[in-house]
């Protein structure tokens, strides 16, 4: 119990209260700097009144302060914080100026590159059908600044693509007030809970502390983002959340499958929309009113109901992920994908007479 308080509860509470206290200041700053999202500019937007962006500000403050307090500043933490600061800075620029999505994609690769350059990666991936996929070969060896260095090419490529993908598909799951910070917080707690099972291994402690910090920072932001929202996560808060969850899943190979199950709905939702947009001749990176949360709103659900639905589903999938092996996680993802596609097809053919708008559904 003492160990749990030390490596989970303490960093969680510190990040929570820092985020809770800094968010009102960030709201005032966002209004002053005109980080404001006006409604009806884009089809995907669901709010009906001007709302400041810049949610990444209190989250990055809570993350950096808590991580530096509880963790040693080694090369891994330096890389994580550098990538987080870079992602937040680009996100804030987008919150203010609405950057081109292709440029944002390049910056996601840049943030992922910082993480990979810090030495964070994996040597293998578990094959859900049996065996392992090894990523430690081929290797590129060279000398830099008088020291011998080595790059695991497949591992680095996987890390770049995985983190970039996480920054996008996780970020796309934040279209309704409270939906995103609640989702990220629950996902981070799930990863922390998985690591706590192996807390006898001191190497797992930094993972637990970082996951607890991420959860606390996003839950501290949640009261100001829940309906009626006073601030939006913005691209700064969304891309940062995807980056951090992607990093946490890389710090232990078992957590990649765990994150895929926990984030099953956003993952399949994003994959489905990308395929759909490509097949229809559209760019997969330009947003629209097509995500599951948009369709639930069109079905008549209120915004709080949609957000709470995502929280409950994420918590259920998180519980499942903690109790499934790799093969069971694979079949769970197949089942989730099947149900999602069937539900999407049903929604497409649902009669408009049955989709009366509910209160607060935007």
Q: 31 to each of 24, 96, 235, how far by Cα in Å?
A: 11, 11, 16
Model pLDDT for residues 189-230, shown as the tens digit of each residue: 999 999 888 776 787 899 999 999 999 999 999 999 999 999
Model pLDDT for residues 228-242, shown as the tens digit of each residue: 999 999 999 999 999
Q: Which element (helix H / strand E) includes 82?
A: helix 75-97
The verdict on residue 157 lying in a domain is yes
Domain count, the chain: 1
The verdict on residue 347 lying in a domain is no
Model pTM score: 0.91
The verdict on residue 356 lying in a domain is no
CA-nearest of 80, 82, 104 to 92 is 104
At 111, give phi and psi (nearest 5°).
-65, -45
The verdict on residue 19 lying in a domain is yes
Beta carbons of 45 and 100 less than 8 angstroms apart? no
Does the N-terminal peptide bond of residue 138 adopt cis geometry, omega within 30 degrees of 0?
A: yes
The residues facing 139 across adjacent strands are 152
The verdict on residue 324 lying in a domain is no
The verdict on residue 111 lying in a domain is yes
The verdict on residue 150 lying in a domain is yes
Range of the domain at 49: 2-254
How does residue 362 score in pLDDT terms, banded at 50, 70 and 90? very low
- Segment 90-110 shows an average pLDDT of 95
């Amino acid at each position: 119990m003492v160990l749990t308080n030390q490596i989970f509860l303490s960093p969680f509470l510190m990040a929570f209260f820092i985020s809770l206290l800094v968010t009102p200041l960030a709201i005032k700053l966002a209004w002053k700097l005109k980080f404001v999202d006006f409604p009806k500019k884009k089809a995907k937007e669901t709010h009906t009144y001007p709302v400041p962006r810049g949610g990444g500000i209190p989250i990055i403050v809570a993350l950096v302060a808590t991580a530096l307090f509880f963790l040693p500043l080694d090369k891994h933490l330096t890389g994580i914080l550098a990538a987080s600061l870079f992602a937040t800075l680009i996100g804030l620029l987008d919150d203010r100026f609405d950057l081109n999505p292709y440029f944002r994609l390049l910056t996601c690769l840049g943030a992922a590159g910082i993480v990979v350059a810090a030495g964070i990666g994996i040597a293998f991936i578990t094959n859900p059908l049996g065996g392992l996929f090894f990523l430690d070969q081929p290797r590129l060896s060279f000398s830099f600044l008088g020291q011998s260095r080595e790059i695991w090419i497949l591992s680095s490529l996987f890390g770049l693509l995985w983190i970039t993908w996480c920054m996008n598909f996780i970020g796309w799951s934040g279209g309704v007030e409270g939906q995103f910070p609640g989702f990220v917080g629950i996902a981070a707690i799930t990863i922390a809970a998985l690591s706590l099972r192996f807390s006898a291994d001191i190497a797992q402690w930094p993972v637990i502390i970082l996951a607890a910090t991420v959860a606390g920072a996003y839950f501290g932001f949640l009261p100001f983002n829940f309906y009626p929202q006073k601030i939006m996560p913005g691209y700064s808060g969304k891309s940062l959340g995807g980056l951090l969850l992607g990093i946490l899943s890389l710090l232990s190979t078992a957590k990649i499958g765990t994150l895929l199950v926990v984030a099953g709905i956003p993952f399949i939702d994003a994959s489905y929309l990308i395929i759909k947009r490509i097949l229809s001749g559209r760019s997969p990176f330009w947003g629209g009113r097509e995500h599951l949360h948009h369709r639930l709103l069109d079905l008549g659900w209120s915004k709080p109901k949609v957000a709470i639905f995502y929280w409950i589903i994420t918590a259920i999938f998180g519980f499942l992920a903690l109790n499934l092996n790799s093969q069971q996680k694979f079949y769970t993802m197949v089942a989730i994908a099947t149900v999602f596609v069937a539900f999407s097809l049903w929604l497409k053919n649902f009669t408009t007479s049955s989709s009366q708008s509910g209160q607060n559904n935007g």
